[in-house]
Structure formats: C-alpha cells, structure tokens
DNA sequence: AGATTACATTCATCTTTCTGAATATAACTC
DNA sequence: GAGTTATATTCAGAAAGATGAATGTAATCT
C-alpha cells in the first residue's frame, strides 16, 4: 500500500490560507519578508512561522541581501497545482485579489519611486 | 484578505493516504465499498469514515444498488489536481501501483467470471 | 562595541483531526 | 418478523496542528 508521503506533505503545506496567499505573492518572483508582512497585514513572527512551514515542505528557498531576506518559490509546478484547484473551486485568478503593498526594502522603494513619478500632463 | 476556504477544504480532504488511494480506485468509475475494502486491506468502518470525509468535501457521491453502495467521483477535475501533484513529486501513475482485488459484489463477480474464462488454446 | 533592523525560533495553550472500538441503520432473504 | 449482509455513525483517547507571546539571532550602521 502506497503511503503518498510526498503528496500528503504537499497537501498539508497548502492547507492554510496564509500559506496559499504567500505563494500567490511569490508567483511573479521573490519578495522580502517585510513585503509579505505589509501585503498580508499579519504580524512578522506569524509570517515567519508560515514561511518556515513552506520551506520545510521544500516549496521555498531564501536569499539574503543585506538586511532583507528574499523568499522565492523553488518549484514553479506548485502553481499548476494551485491553478488546477482554482479551476475546481471556481476561484478567480488570485493575483488580482491581493492588494499590492510596499515596505521599506530596496525592492519596494524602487517600485515606489517609479509609481510616484507624476505624469507631466497631470501637473499642467 | 481571501480565506481560500474551498481550497483549504479540498487540500485537507486530500491530505490523507487512504483518501488518495480511494480516489485512485475510483478513477475509472464507481466501485462498491466492499471492493475498496478488499483492495485497500483496511477495515470497513475505517473506509466508511474516509468515504464520509470525501463525501462531505463534495468529492464523492454514492448510489445504492441492492445490498451494495457504489461510490463515484463527482468532479473529475480532482484528478487534474492529483496528476499535477504527481508531476511535482515524481510519483508514477498510481493506477498501476494498486493491486486489483475482488469482492462479493455483482460488479466484481461478473469481472471474476470474465477473468476466469480459460482460453481454449491453453486447454488443448 | 553598542544599537538597530529584519527575520526566526521556542514555548505553552487551545483546537482540530486521526484512529479504532463499538454500535447503529437500512435493505434484503427466508 | 428474525436473521444476514453491507454500509454508516458515534464516541473517546491520542496525535497533530494552529495561534500568540516572548525571546533569539544575524547582519548592518554609527
């Protein structure tokens, strides 16, 4: 009798709203913890806990850059799993449902800078 | 903040080896409980419990025919989810890994009868 | 070195889920 | 209606997971 250990580990890791939301925030590339904190509106320690779960499940890896630690999805195939589930549940594409947020990391600040450029025709 | 309730419910239902095995046994069509019992080698009450979980998760439906109750998968899309996970985990197609078994239900007995037909060229 | 920033871990409590034993139900046979 | 067969539910103890508070660590800056 097969035990489906890897599958169970994956399903358990995905059985949590915060962890799914984290994966969605990482769908388009790495993000720092403070960015996840700002986007999810949850306490930092709590997010770190959930990141730990995803890391232990082999879904995430991290990279330090100065003060910040950037998390990324190791295997993009996890999004195929998520998408097939959204297909079943009728949930719309998630990217559009999470409010974008910014934090103090260099990544966000450069994006901020870009967004804050006021088009000239509005000024006139 | 999205709660992903349906997704969580689905992931939790799939986070169990017996329940995955049941779904695999139903991949090619309905089966009676006694057949699942024979194939999985687990006690009947236990299998009924797991069937109940899958039913409450909206994954299965049942149909009574005389003494037997036949379970079937309601939404075939669940196999797309499973297959995408097997893709991630590197698990081979499961159908071939579960030992076929027979029970006393009419379904199995007719299959038995077919299998027991001895080709004439072997007899000669 | 000391203070600060960003992130991680530990610990205790509470809730949920798992598991197995026992019992219940529902349809059929005689 | 009594007995049998097939399946379902209930219940209690054990295990696992969720949650939040507090604390720890590691890199950076002055």
pLDDT value for B123: 40
Read off the pLDDT of residues B8-17 as tens digits, 9 standing for 90 and up: 999 999 999 9
Name all domains of chain A by residue range, CATH numbers in brackets. Answer: 5-123 (1.10.10.10)
pLDDT value for B105: 76
Query: How far does the CA of residue A109 sit from the closest CA of chain B (Å)?
Result: 24
Q: A97 and B2 in contact by Cβ < 8 A?
A: yes
Three-state helix/strand/coil letters over chain A:
CCCCHHHHHHHHHHCCHHHHHHHHHCCCCCEEHHHHHHHHCCCHHHHHHHHHHHHHCCCEEEEEECCEEEEEECCCHHHHHHHHHHHHHCCCCCHHHCCCCCCCCHHHHHHHHHHHCCCHHHHC
Per-10-residue mean pLDDT, chain A, length 124: 86 95 92 91 93 94 92 95 93 64 71 45 40
Ramachandran quadrant class, A66 (left: phi over 0; alpha: psi -120 to 50; beta: rest):
left
Query: How far does the CA of residue A30 sit from the closest CA of chain B (Å)?
Result: 20
Read off the pLDDT of residues B76-102 as tens digits, 9 standing for 90 and up: 999 999 999 999 998 876 555 566 677
Lowest mean pLDDT among B5-9, B53-57, B85-89, B119-123: B119-123
Read off the pLDDT of residues B100-112 as tens digits, 9 standing for 90 and up: 677 777 777 665 5
Q: Which of residues 54-73 of A touch B (CB under 8 A)?
A: none
Q: Is the CB of A72 under 7 A from strand C?
A: no
Measure CB to CB from residue A81 to each of B4, B40, B88 and give the nearest one: B88
Q: A89 and B20 in contact by Cβ < 8 A?
A: no
Instruction: Estimate in Å the CA A121 to C1' C9 gap, whole number.
Output: 52
Q: What is the mean pLDDT of residues B4-24?
A: 94
A68, β-bridge pairs: A65
pLDDT value for B121: 46
Q: A8 and B15 in contact by Cβ < 8 A?
A: yes
pLDDT value for B118: 39
pLDDT value for A110: 65
Q: What is the mean pLDDT of residues B41-54?
A: 93
């Amino acid at each position: 009798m097969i035990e489906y250990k890897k599958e169970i580990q994956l399903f358990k890791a995905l059985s949590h709203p915060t962890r799914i939301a984290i994966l969605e925030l990482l769908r388009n590339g790495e993000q720092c913890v403070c960015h996840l904190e700002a986007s999810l509106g949850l306490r930092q320690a709590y997010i770190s806990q959930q990141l730990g779960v995803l890391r232990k499940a082999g879904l995430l890896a991290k990279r330090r850059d100065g003060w910040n630690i950037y998390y990324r999805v190791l295997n993009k195939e996890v999004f195929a799993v998520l998408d097939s589930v959204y297909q079943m549940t009728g949930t719309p594409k998630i990217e559009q449902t999470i409010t974008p947020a910014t934090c103090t990391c260099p990544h966000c600040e450069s994006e901020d800078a870009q967004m804050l450029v006021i088009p000239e025709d509005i000024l006139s």
